[in-house]
A and B are shown apart, each in its own frame.
Chain A
Amino acid sequence: MTAAATTPGDATRPQERRRREWPSTFALILNNRLAAAGLGILAVIILAALAAPILPLADPNATDPANRLAPLFSDGHPLGTDALGRDMLSRLIWGTRVSLLVGFSASLIAAFFGSAIGLVAGYAGGRTDQLLMRLIDLMMAFPYILLALAIVAILGPGLINALYAIAIVNVPFFARNIRGITVGLARREFVDAAKLSGKGPLRILWSDILPNVLPTIVITLSTTVGWMILETAGLSFLGLGAQPPQADLGSMLGDGRKVMFTAPTISLVPGLMIFLIVMSINLIGDGIRDALDPRLRSGAMARPSFRTKVARERKVPMDRGSRKPVSAGVSGGGHPPLPAGISPTRREVDRSETPPPRDLPPCGGSKGRARPAARPGARQGRGECLGTDRAAGENGNDPAEAAILDVRDLRTDFHMGSEIYHATGGVDLVIRPGECLGLVGESGSGKSVTAMSIMGLVPSPPGVIAGGRIGFKGEDLAEASDKRIRHLRGGAVSHVFQDPLATLHPLFAVGDQIVEAIRAHQPLSRRDAEAKAQDLLALVRIPNAAQRMKALPHELSGGLRQRVSIAMALANDPELIIADEPTTALDVTVQAEVLRLLDELRRERNTAVLFITHDFGVVSEIADRVAVMYAGRIVETGRTEEILTEPAHPYTRMLIDCVPVMGEPERRLDAVPGRPPAVNRLPSGCAFADRCPRVEADCRSGEIPLEEKRGSLEARCLHPLQPGEALLDEAAKIHHPEVLP
């Protein structure tokens, strides 16, 4: 199974998982301790009520005036007697029997008729639907209990009439919920298929639709049954339900109230029983809802915290060649720039080792040629430092040109249930002031997680920064205080996100949102901040800036919205802008404008940009350097024009080939075939091996380092492409798997 599990596109797994799911629903309810407790309490109560005729109980209606109002624990009457001397324990159990019977019957009647109305309305649609739903709306226009009272007023007081009243009042809840689901199902293919096979509407409702709405009926039932028991008891309490000598818990409570001050237990005991029944049902209901509502599974509803959690035993980068902590060399802002994308070997063993000192020595050079180790003691040679050797002063880089962002060996994990997904498996990134680095990859490659990890914006739970150093001007942001992070966010480091409709607050005017960003970091009066916000809107070339200040996000076009986001990102003159697919959600023409604007502004202001995209076409417009990500790691990095013209990694080549080129209509626009491997079970060797046309036997084992290939290019590949070498000839291989080694 392990071998099969690593094969992408394994068809057996989803089915297996599905088969496991249903029995586990009951297990889930039991696993929920509160729901299990509720089930236990309810079971005991129901058993006692069922066993009432065979239990050694006194006659619940036998009066004994000599023994009236006996206290608790008196002889022969464990719960005492009531005002007529009747045994309270016996009355309690018999009363519970009546209450449960009435409550459950009302629920079943309401569920039956409500679901029937909902199914018919949802399936028939049109006028029938309109008419039925208007009637349901009308019922819901009455206050809940008032309608029940009105019905009892018509039918007359009595237990059965109270039962009908409560059932009728609850019909709308079922009708509405079931109709909602049915409307969606009625348009599905399997219903069309059933129609074509000649089934009548009733049979379709019964055999095709009902099984699919059953969970909703169960959820609605489990959440309303408690209410119905409570309300029937309430009507009896008011004297409108059970009439003497018949007694349910509600009428016992109502009777007891008359002697409340002299013998409070007579009213308190039946009330306690109602409370226990309703609470245990509510606990079970919550358990059922949690188990059946997939959104609540696996902590999807967990609240993201202020900042991504940083693992306490976070591994900071070390020299993996020697498996020894490297000497803590250069730390702080003074060290020279690094090339992007150096990811050292990673083995699970590393995690168990003691954390090394917190910095990685400078390693490698941006122009990345082989050169002698310059830092004594830090490094023995290229073999150990994986082609990342570099030293201050070389390549003419003076310390003033220090990296603004220097991410090393960043590991961000997602904890989903018992699985840990390594969304980034050791990412290295370097950005110098004023430089734009394009981070490219398919969706799921970890590029956004990398970008969001920098300022701790990966939602936690489930995200955890498990290792690495996030160097910003010499400071490790993973270690910075929350206050410091907040100060940097929107200040020195700002963000532009993908979909401006979702990322701007829908209820606040865009001007106010920019003002807020300004005043979070600058001590300006509201008026000055407004003036500045207006200037910013003009700067990003929004026409009629003064009027647009008051516009709400949904009143602007996509392009204008993204300009607002950019204005907001520029509000406090950041040194680094992290732009996460800022043009992806826009129209193509608007895309180009926004891209140009961003490019101009960053050049004017010498702002560094980390630009995340999946589109090489976009990269060529704006990025100085490119890092390509695959399955949570950098697989190739280098200067933009070199990567675009002659990449070394086959994956990069395939990604570039996806971009349409004007005037080359015959060009293949295939997406890269296959899928990336799941990041919780990466194969050993190259993660791309299964999709690679150039795969060889040695690609599938061991750790493949990111090494210098040619020019500025560094790639994580044992069989890189040579200049001028085409990939397409090789592509034939993938269609003939038998030639693969």
Chain B
Amino acid sequence: MTATIARRLLAAIPVLFGLSVVVFGMIALIPGDPATAILGSYATPENVARLNASLGLDKSLPQQYLAWMSGVVSGDFGRSYALNRPVIDIVLERFSATLLLAGASLLLATLFGLLAGIVSAVRQFGLADKAITLVVLIGISVPSFWLGLLLILFFAVRIKLFPASGMVAIYGGGGPLDILHHLVLPAITLALVATGVIARLTRTAMLEVLRQDYIRTARAKGLTERRVIYRHAFMAALVSVIPVIGIQAGFVLGGAVYVETVFQWPGIGAMLVNAISQRDILLVQGGVLVVAASYVLFNLLADVCQTLLDPRLK
């Protein structure tokens, strides 16, 4: 088992390397002179030259990559121009907030998605199935930035049950309960799409599994229907749903951009949008690299879970 996990970890290394090349390439790909692009067309030639030198842009591309990479490995992503702080500090601070939001959403999406998918498959063509199918359809069609507004208007403005924005209350906030209170609306907003996708795939996987011969065997043994569905069918369906949950992690991490903007959640997505508008390239680079790397690690985790569950994959 350890060998399997080690092998998967090793396989992730080239992917991480590829990611770093792509993210590094961002600067090289910027049309025209990056320093001018960053500083704007009114920058003085001295400033442009100084920035080019500090970005190491006077060296060859491989040299630049090596310099950048050795910085990244030692935790130095450079300095943000707009905020004048080390990129790594901003990114870590913001990423922890995103991780909380995305983690909560993924948890909600997994729980409700699996449950809805099972119920939908077991009650195929029944009323529950139709209701779930409808909710799933709405869930995957609704723009999350619009849903967030609706939830704010109803739950924060109309019935004042949850706060409209931010992660902590301005006065006396910051405790775990306070954060949880602020987390509810954004987490639900972000979870909805992933819930829909997971529910759909769980339903399909369950229907597929329920037709298998080993389900007939389980029934022929005289097991209760509950045991047949929740143990025999669900465990087999889960094997094919887990990678989908891993992929949904990417959608949740990406979709966090909208939700963070709507709810003013101090996450990395909202930060990236600002950084892009301000052309704060080093900050964008650092943020994208950290989020993408965490996504790779998350998929690795899903992979390992799948292997643990299905020993045939070893």
Contact assessment for B143 and A499 in the assembled complex, using a CB-CB cutoff below 8 Å: no
Name the contact of A274 in the complex, choosing from B125, B137, B146, B249 (C-beta under 8 A): B146
Separation of A386 and B1 alpha carbons in the complex (Å):
66
**Can you name 23 A-B residue pairings with CB atoms under 8 Å?**
A141-B15, A143-B291, A144-B251, A146-B250, A146-B253, A146-B254, A146-B272, A150-B288, A153-B288, A157-B276, A157-B277, A237-B261, A253-B143, A253-B145, A260-B153, A264-B153, A274-B146, A487-B222, A489-B220, A490-B222, A502-B212, A502-B214, A554-B312
Contact assessment for B30 and A154 in the assembled complex, using a CB-CB cutoff below 8 Å: yes
Separation of A521 and B223 alpha carbons in the complex (Å):
9
Within A129-155, the residues touching B (CB, 8 Å) are 134, 137-138, 141-150, 152-155
Q: Which residue of chain B is the closest to A498 with respect to CB atoms?
A: B213
Residues of A with Cβ closer than 8 Å to B? Answer: 134, 137-138, 141-150, 152-157, 226, 230, 233-234, 237-240, 253, 257, 260-261, 264, 267-268, 271-272, 274-275, 278-279, 282-283, 286, 301-304, 306, 455, 457, 459, 486-491, 494-495, 497, 499, 502-508, 516-517, 520-521, 552, 554, 565, 568
Contact assessment for A507 and B309 in the assembled complex, using a CB-CB cutoff below 8 Å: yes
Contact assessment for A497 and B142 in the assembled complex, using a CB-CB cutoff below 8 Å: no
- Cβ-based interface call for B161 (8 A): no
Name the contact of B213 in the complex, choosing from A155, A156, A233, A502 (C-beta under 8 A): A502
Contact assessment for B146 and A516 in the assembled complex, using a CB-CB cutoff below 8 Å: no
| A149-B276 contact in complex given A260-B149, A264-B153, C-beta closer than 8 Å | yes
Separation of A234 and B254 alpha carbons in the complex (Å):
11
Contact assessment for A520 and B213 in the assembled complex, using a CB-CB cutoff below 8 Å: no
Contact assessment for A268 and B15 in the assembled complex, using a CB-CB cutoff below 8 Å: no
Within B214-251, the residues touching A (CB, 8 Å) are 214-225, 228, 232, 235-236, 239, 249-251
- Cβ-based interface call for B273 (8 A): yes
Distance between A144 CB and nearest chain B CB, rounded to angstroms: 5
Q: Which residue of chain A is the closest to B140 with respect to CB atoms?
A: A282
| A486-B222 contact in complex given A301-B207, A495-B217, A497-B217, C-beta closer than 8 Å | yes
- Cβ-based interface call for B116 (8 A): no
- Cβ-based interface call for B51 (8 A): no
> In the complex, which residues of chain B have a beta carbon less than 8 angstroms from the beta carbon of A521?
222
> In the complex, which residues of chain B have a beta carbon less than 8 angstroms from the beta carbon of A278?
141-143
> In the complex, which residues of chain B have a beta carbon less than 8 angstroms from the beta carbon of A145?
251, 254-255, 257
| A143-B22 contact in complex given A303-B121, A497-B217, A505-B217, C-beta closer than 8 Å | no
- Cβ-based interface call for B35 (8 A): no
| A552-B222 contact in complex given A238-B261, A503-B214, C-beta closer than 8 Å | no
Q: Which residue of chain B is the closest to A571 with respect to CB atoms?
A: B221
- Cβ-based interface call for B122 (8 A): yes
> In the complex, which residues of chain A have a beta carbon less than 8 angstroms from the beta carbon of B204?
301
> In the complex, which residues of chain A have a beta carbon less than 8 angstroms from the beta carbon of B92?
none
Separation of A508 and B153 alpha carbons in the complex (Å):
50
- Cβ-based interface call for B172 (8 A): no
- Cβ-based interface call for B54 (8 A): no
Name the contact of A505 in the complex, choosing from B26, B218, B257 (C-beta under 8 A): B218
Contact with A along B275-314 (1 / 0, CB 8 A): 1110101001000100110011001000000000111100
| A260-B216 contact in complex given A149-B288, A303-B207, A490-B222, C-beta closer than 8 Å | no
Contact with A along B145-183 (1 / 0, CB 8 A): 110011011000100000000000000000000000000
Contact assessment for B157 and A490 in the assembled complex, using a CB-CB cutoff below 8 Å: no
Separation of A11 and B201 alpha carbons in the complex (Å):
40
- Cβ-based interface call for B90 (8 A): no
> In the complex, which residues of chain A have a beta carbon less than 8 angstroms from the beta carbon of B115?
none
Separation of A499 and B212 alpha carbons in the complex (Å):
12
Contact assessment for B221 and A303 in the assembled complex, using a CB-CB cutoff below 8 Å: no
Distance between A131 CB and nearest chain B CB, rounded to angstroms: 12
- Cβ-based interface call for B7 (8 A): no
Distance between A622 CB and nearest chain B CB, rounded to angstroms: 21
| A141-B292 contact in complex given A239-B277, A267-B149, A489-B222, C-beta closer than 8 Å | yes
17 additional A-B residue pairs with CB within 8 Å, beyond A268-B146, A279-B138: A149-B284, A150-B23, A150-B288, A234-B143, A239-B273, A271-B145, A275-B142, A278-B142, A282-B137, A301-B207, A304-B211, A457-B216, A486-B222, A489-B222, A497-B220, A503-B214, A552-B311
Distance between A449 CB and nearest chain B CB, rounded to angstroms: 13
- Cβ-based interface call for B100 (8 A): no
> In the complex, which residues of chain A have a beta carbon less than 8 angstroms from the beta carbon of B249?
143
Separation of A143 and B19 alpha carbons in the complex (Å):
11
- Cβ-based interface call for B4 (8 A): no
> In the complex, which residues of chain B have a beta carbon less than 8 angstroms from the beta carbon of A147?
254
Q: Which residue of chain A is the closest to B214 with respect to CB atoms?
A: A505
Interface centre among B217, B277, B279 (most CB of A within 10 A): B217
